């Protein structure tokens, strides 16, 4: 079975540009979460979506937005890129257990470099 797939694997942008990252969850998983991992740090929660509805949002500015599609895939959008947005962006999908009982499985991530 395919795991969580993310695209692209690596992206280089310049300050002020916009970027869209994509994620396909494990088959049967209806929940997708997005995390930002800066080098040397643990992942920081950005969003969680379940059944196309936002279920949680971390402490990130409005430049970050996301959506989930009917097939449960998801996109993360970041506008007006800053140098500090350079990071590994991780997508995790989880089984529909809900709440803290979710077990999240991660993709390999998209490495975003902002120049």
Measuring CA to CA, which residue among 97, 54, 21, 113 is closest to residue 105? 97
# residues contacting other proteins (CB under 8 A):
30
76 part of the interface to other proteins, by CB under 8 A: no
| Beta carbon of residue 76, minimum distance to other proteins (angstroms, whole number) | 15
Burial (CB count within 10 angstroms: exposed 0-12, middle 13-18, buried 19+), residue 110 = buried
User: 107 is written with which tokens?
Assistant: 């993709």
Q: Are 55 and 31 within 8 A, CB to CB? A: yes
Binding other proteins (rule: CB under 8 A), the pick from 26, 34, 109, 114 is: 109
Between 48 and 85, whose beta carbon lies closer to other proteins? 48
39 part of the interface to other proteins, by CB under 8 A: no
Q: Are 46 and 36 within 8 A, CB to CB? A: yes
1 part of the interface to other proteins, by CB under 8 A: no
Residues that bind other proteins (CB under 8 A): 4, 31, 33, 35, 40-45, 48, 50, 55-56, 58, 88, 90, 92, 99-109, 111
């Amino acid at each position: 079975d395919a795991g969580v797939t993310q695209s692209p694997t690596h992206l280089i942008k310049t300050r002020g540009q916009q970027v869209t990252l994509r994620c396909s969850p494990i088959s049967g998983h209806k929940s997708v979460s997005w995390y930002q991992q800066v080098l040397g740090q643990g992942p920081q929660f950005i969003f969680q979506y379940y059944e196309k509805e936002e279920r949680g949002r971390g402490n990130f500015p409005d430049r970050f937005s996301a959506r989930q599609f009917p097939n449960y895939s998801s996109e993360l959008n970041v506008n007006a890129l800053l140098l500090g947005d350079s990071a590994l962006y991780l997508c995790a999908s989880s089984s529909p257990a809900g709440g803290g009982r979710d077990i999240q499985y991660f993709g390999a991530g998209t490495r975003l470099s902002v120049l």
